[in-house]
Amino acid sequence: MKILLTGSNGLLGQKLVALLHQTSGIELVATARGANRLATSYPTLHFVPLDVTDASKVQQVLGQQRPTHVIHTAAMTQVDECELNQAACWSQNVTAVAHLAAACAQLDVHLTHLSTDFIFNGTEALLSEEALPDPISHYGASKLAAEQAVQRTAGLRWAIARTVLVYGTSLVAGRSNLVLWVYESLRKGQKIKVVDDQWRTPTLAEDLAQGCWLLARQSAQGIFHLSGPELLTPFQMAQQVATTFGLDATLLERVDGQIFTQPARRPLRTGFCIAKAERELGYQPHSFADGLALVQRQLAL
């Protein structure tokens, strides 16, 4: 089994490299736009530069590497940046997916594509795979269009993995996430405002990597919701971070999301029902408390 991974420098990409690199029976090809930022941690990792927005490069790399499976994690995921730079967002999140889907279909490669809870409008929580998408931001619209591009590609074998609010530690400097932001802020004694009127099922990056591997290993077909098992507000998550790390929870200020002026709207309630993934894939995510305990151990190394 030969897996080509896009976005290997990102948080999920790093966790997939950690999971799949040197695993028996798997030949891993890591790709990203720009240099390999994991070279120090994984000196024997097979890395190929790839800009997925370049159709000819996508065809060339897949044609040369001939993977049996592609796991596509590369994307423009900063919601406000997507709202402000809509052309770049569409190129990275939709056009690139169409290129990959076409190449995978042509070469009979199974594609696992990563999507998001932000394709929903936020009126309901604990959504199943059958819930009707209705994005309220350009980021959400781009990710829904990408899903549709995957589904409409003739002859493509595909799985779509939707996820929610991914957190975890990173080997290289990059984007933060809610857990690390709260941890770093409280550790420095900084007061922070955290919203308590939005609901999510936070996802440990290692769990999401495991879910993507399960999809690829089984050459699964269809849409799967992969997230953590608990519906929480960011404020509730922040309280648990403070407790886990023994930090001062009085520095946390509970606020409503409407106090922030942001270019892009956020859905108020999402979070996933993960029963299908548990039943069909054997997906077993950590509880949020156990996920935080893992992050704590990693930060202590």
d(CA 54, CA 96): 7
Give the integer Cα–Cα distance in Å for 209 and 277: 13
Q: Supply the residues annotated as catalytic.
A: 139
Q: What angle do CA 243, 245, 246 make, to 5 degrees?
A: 65
Question: What's the rounded Cα separation, in Å, for the pair 103 and 151?
Answer: 14
Closest CA to 120 of 66, 42, 198: 198
Long-range contacts of 33-37 (CB under 8 A, 24+ apart): 33/74, 34/9, 36/8, 36/9, 37/9, 37/171, 37/172
Q: What is the DSSP string of 167-188?
A: E---SSS----HHHHHHHHHHT
